[in-house]
Amino acid sequence: MENLIQPKILKGFRDFLPDAEIQRSLLTEKLTNVFRSFGFVPIDTPVLEYTEILLRKSDGETEKQVFRFEDNGGRDVAMRFDLTVPFARFVAEHKDELYFPFKRYHIAKVWRGEKPQAGRYREFVQCDFDSVGSDSAASDFEILLMMKTALAAIGVTDVTIKISHRGIFNRFLAKLGLKEKSEDILRTVDKLAKIGEEETARLLTEIAGDSAKAGDILKYIKGSDSFESTLALMEEMAGGEADDTKRMREIYAFMCEEGIQDSYKLDPSITRGLDYYTGVVYETFLNELPGIGSVCSGGRYDNLAGLYMKDRVPGVGSSIGLDRLIAGLEQLGKLDAKGSFIDAEIFCLDQSLTGHYMGIAKQLRQNGISCEVFPDAKKMGQQYTFAEKKNIKFGILVKPEDAKAGVLTLKNLKNRETFENITVAEAVEKIKNA
Amino acid sequence: MENLIQPKILKGFRDFLPDAEIQRSLLTEKLTNVFRSFGFVPIDTPVLEYTEILLRKSDGETEKQVFRFEDNGGRDVAMRFDLTVPFARFVAEHKDELYFPFKRYHIAKVWRGEKPQAGRYREFVQCDFDSVGSDSAASDFEILLMMKTALAAIGVTDVTIKISHRGIFNRFLAKLGLKEKSEDILRTVDKLAKIGEEETARLLTEIAGDSAKAGDILKYIKGSDSFESTLALMEEMAGGEADDTKRMREIYAFMCEEGIQDSYKLDPSITRGLDYYTGVVYETFLNELPGIGSVCSGGRYDNLAGLYMKDRVPGVGSSIGLDRLIAGLEQLGKLDAKGSFIDAEIFCLDQSLTGHYMGIAKQLRQNGISCEVFPDAKKMGQQYTFAEKKNIKFGILVKPEDAKAGVLTLKNLKNRETFENITVAEAVEKIKNA
């Protein structure tokens, strides 16, 4: 006999058992429905791409994390680490086949060799939605509205969506004479929530070489009470009204018209670090668990596919980190423990009736009821346990004399309610109305 | 300015543009509904696994094709090349958390570095459904029924599902004294459709060292007219009745009870080559395009996870090669050219009405209608072309005076039927009833 191989998976990777995968499927389906309801269409791209395509613009951190290798044909290839870079390549490659504004969603796995920790995995699912080809406040607002709508659709309402505008911040830094140092400053401001105000101030003073300027930056990123007063402060500190502040007012006007302005907080400390954003930017935090980081982030960029083509394609988009979100909801005890796609279990009381059981199953399925036939005449206790583990609501029992009479017993396995001697049609009604 | 990188993808890999991805999504959703209706539950496993786990039992061909590399932690890893090996590992690793018969479906990408050709890609989607833990004719039949039902659900009815039984064939070879040569014989028989009867006879004579035995094998694999007469022939040549032929009769009885026996052809030349099957085996061919090979194959195995644990887990399963199937249907012109998830386009007649348009969109979505607001006041011709490219059925037009009066114009973009001065509620009705 061969030696057995220990069945195990790689660190940072996960199996999804049925309960977890049903949960993830239900969440994904709800998100998909929202994306579709806004006119977004799906695309797909390869998991493997030329490393040159994926990594050209990346920072060192990404490069260290990417799963990269030489394939059998000697090509330098890598597994995608996000859905944005492949999307940029996709838009450049297919621009003549697309229609703009091109609005796509893409729900798929990405891979990063990160240090595994709570809520962080080396293989995880991202849900991206982007609208490219329109530089309008309407598009900006649409993405913001979709973030709120999509999260609400999966029961996540206790969130704060923080928004800001990268262009206003850049203008402000230029006015301070710190344009050249903006990368370092962005990197530092991005860490505010993690390292605290004092440490941020110390680092900013070091970078700006001037504690007064550091103080200005702190004042700017702390903002004011309301959306309007914060915007006024940003505008003043950045040197007055411009297209960027006008854009923020337009977005705010859309929010007010829709009556959802309270769901968004203008927070000038949101910058999205070194990313390629140029306009509005946003991050979303679970109010009860802000420490896990943003669960839905994004912003506007003015040149999505600049690495691959000369045409400038502006766009705006957002990404839900589904696995991080699920980890957070689990931690908060806010996920339904068990879902089920199966309505009824037809128990096996008599093996010779299996064909009859299958006939009943067929009728149920024709009426839109999902059901299964237990294939072996195992002990009833075992069969009940099985149905319970699968979270199946109804049991159907048919004895030989029932089969002859064309009736069955329907049992609600949750509350033990039992209906004897009913027809399949009656069972259909009862299951549908349950 | 940086040099541009040519946007391109790897050979054998594909982008899915919206029309193709909508199509694939629709097919996948229909298959998923069938799997769920039979009580099958979803699972997921990592794309990357230890190479040792994936490749231990594989033949040289697979080893050459697999995408394998050393990760940053020095681990020998590989991308999954099918969904069966990961499922075997999964069952061994989680057997105490599962309930048996464990019936799972898994629709996911797999990777093989095959020579790209029509309908063959290096990245493709498989749809697997397996039932493990029950060695019953009911389970065998259930998988066969699901194959037919799943294919019918996606409009594929002109197929031949060929079935046979590996155990009967093995018994027959043993009776001929050719047990030791069964691997070579299986390999040869498996190529019958490709190389023809004459070449098969020549090869079999070479292997068996005896033209009479080769003739017997040919007689066996050619079978007879009907299911019953072919089974009788197989039984006789294998040495009489046994559990294996009894099992085939049970399966056939289920087919007859369900009235679907004509959908299956008992074809003793089906062996599934060197695979690990031990019982019933099957392959499915498009009647109009048999040359592309089987689009749905599988069978019964008596020991799924034997590499990883001592417990024997019998099972039966099947796999739909979705991408090969789609390629075949495309070749036959049998795929809907265009699907759409979007019901209505709200055109932008006046940029200042965008907020009003969004209000209408909100009401439509609340009524289950997917719609989008065109974000920019582009020329109407451009906006109509956009809606046409997205295959959107309804256009909604609102002029400033309409907005004031609370009405709109609804236009069926397919047949040009137009309804003027109607309310949103009336538009909802018309769109729903269309």
What pLDDT is attached to residue B142? 97
Give the phi and the psi of residue B277 in degrees, each rounded to 5.
Answer: -75, 150
What is the separation of C-alpha B304 from the centre of its chain, rounded to a whole number of angstroms?
21
Q: Are B45 and B60 in contact, with CB atoms under 8 Å apart?
A: no
> Do the chains contact at A47 and B92, CB–CB below 8 Å?
no
SS3 A126: strand
CA atoms within 13 A on the CB side of A105: 25
What pLDDT is attached to residue B117? 75
Terminal CA-to-CA distance of chain B, rounded, Å? Answer: 53
Which of A26, A252, A354 should be substituted to probe chain B, the one whose Cβ sees the most B Cβ atoms within 10 Å?
A354
Q: At a CB cut-off of 8 Å and minimum separation 6, what does B36 contact?
A: A341, A342, A370, B105
**Of A182-196, B42-56, B386-400, the least confident:** A182-196
- Chain A, 29-88: which have a CB under 8 Å from a chain B CB? 36-50, 52-53, 56, 64, 67, 69-73, 75, 77, 79
Averaged over B98-117, what is the pLDDT?
Answer: 93
What's the sign of the alpha-carbon dihedral A303, A305, A310, A313? negative
Query: B384 — contact with chain A (CB < 8 Å)?
Result: no
Residue pLDDT, tens place only, A34-57: 999 999 999 999 999 999 999 976
pLDDT-based confidence at B419, cuts 50/70/90?
Answer: very high
Query: B21 — contact with chain A (CB < 8 Å)?
Result: yes
Angle at A57 between CA A51 and CA A61, to 5 degrees: 80
Whole-number Å distance between alpha carbons of B112 and B81: 6
B-chain residues near A99 (CB < 8 A):
385-386, 389-390
Give the phi and the psi of residue A139 in degrees, each rounded to 5.
Answer: -70, -40
**Of A132-136, B301-305, B423-427, the least confident:** B301-305
ipTM: 0.94
Shortest CA gap B389–chain A (Å): 7
pLDDT, mean over chain B: 94
> Do the chains contact at A14 and B46, CB–CB below 8 Å?
yes
Angle at B412 between CA B410 and CA B417, to 5 degrees: 90
Shortest CA gap A411–chain B (Å): 17
What pLDDT is attached to residue B337? 66
Which of B376, B392, B393, B396 should be substituted to probe chain A, the one whose Cβ sees the most A Cβ atoms within 10 Å?
B376
Whole-number Å distance between alpha carbons of A247 and A138: 10
Nearest to B18 among A42, A64, A111 (CB): A42
Burial level of B411, CB count in 10 A (0-12/13-18/19+)? buried
Whole-number Å distance between alpha carbons of A174 and A238: 8
Residue A59 pLDDT exceeds 70: no
Nearest to A5 among B44, B52, B371 (CB): B52
Averaged over A294-312, what is the pLDDT?
Answer: 92
Distances in whole angstroms, Cα of residue B169 to Cα of each of B59, B79, B244: 22, 34, 10
Residue A109 pLDDT exceeds 80: yes
What pLDDT is attached to residue B266? 98
> Do the chains contact at A37 and B371, CB–CB below 8 Å?
yes
Query: A11 — contact with chain B (CB < 8 Å)?
Result: yes
> Do the chains contact at A15 and B44, CB–CB below 8 Å?
yes
What pLDDT is attached to residue A399? 97
Angle between helices B322-331 and B18-37 (to 10 degrees): 120
> Do the chains contact at A93 and B362, CB–CB below 8 Å?
no
Residue pLDDT, tens place only, B143-191: 999 999 999 999 999 999 999 999 999 999 999 999 999 888 988 998 8
Q: At a CB cut-off of 8 Å and minimum separation 6, what does B60 contact?
A: none
Whole-number Å distance between alpha carbons of A146 and A264: 13
- Chain A, 221-250: which have a CB under 8 Å from a chain B CB? none
Tokens 């009003």, residue? B356
A-chain residues near B371 (CB < 8 A):
37-39
Peptide bond into B42 cis (omega under 30): no
> Do the chains contact at B43 and A305, CB–CB below 8 Å?
no
Tokens 């930017």, residue? A281
Averaged over B233-240, what is the pLDDT?
Answer: 97
Q: Locate the chain A residue with the closest alpha carbon to B68.
A: A71
Full strand arrangement of the beta sheet holding A296-301: A41-42, A102-111, A123-132, A315-321, A296-301, A280-286, A159-165, A264-266
In 3D space, the residue among A377, A387, A78 whose CA is nearest the CA of residue B10 turns out to be A78
Nearest to A101 among B38, B138, B375 (CB): B375
CB pairs under 8 A between A and B: 284
What's the sign of the alpha-carbon dihedral B162, B163, B169, B172? negative
Query: B89 — contact with chain A (CB < 8 Å)?
Result: yes
> Do the chains contact at A138 and B56, CB–CB below 8 Å?
no
Residue B423 pLDDT exceeds 90: yes
Averaged over A226-232, what is the pLDDT?
Answer: 97
Averaged over A6-28, what is the pLDDT?
Answer: 95
- Report DSSP letters for A328-364, one per residue: HHHHTT-S-S---S--EEE--S-GGGHHHHHHHHHHH
Peptide bond into A86 cis (omega under 30): no
Query: A256 — contact with chain B (CB < 8 Å)?
Result: no
> Do the chains contact at B46 and A11, CB–CB below 8 Å?
no
Residue pLDDT, tens place only, B4-32: 999 999 999 999 999 999 999 999 999 99
> Do the chains contact at B355 and A254, CB–CB below 8 Å?
yes
Averaged over B388-405, what is the pLDDT?
Answer: 96
Query: A181 — contact with chain B (CB < 8 Å)?
Result: no
Query: A312 — contact with chain B (CB < 8 Å)?
Result: no
Give the phi and the psi of residue B286 in degrees, each rounded to 5.
Answer: -70, 125
Whole-number Å distance between alpha carbons of B126 and B106: 8
Percent of chain A predicted with pLDDT > 70: 98
For residue B412, the tally of other CB atoms under 10 A from its CB is 15
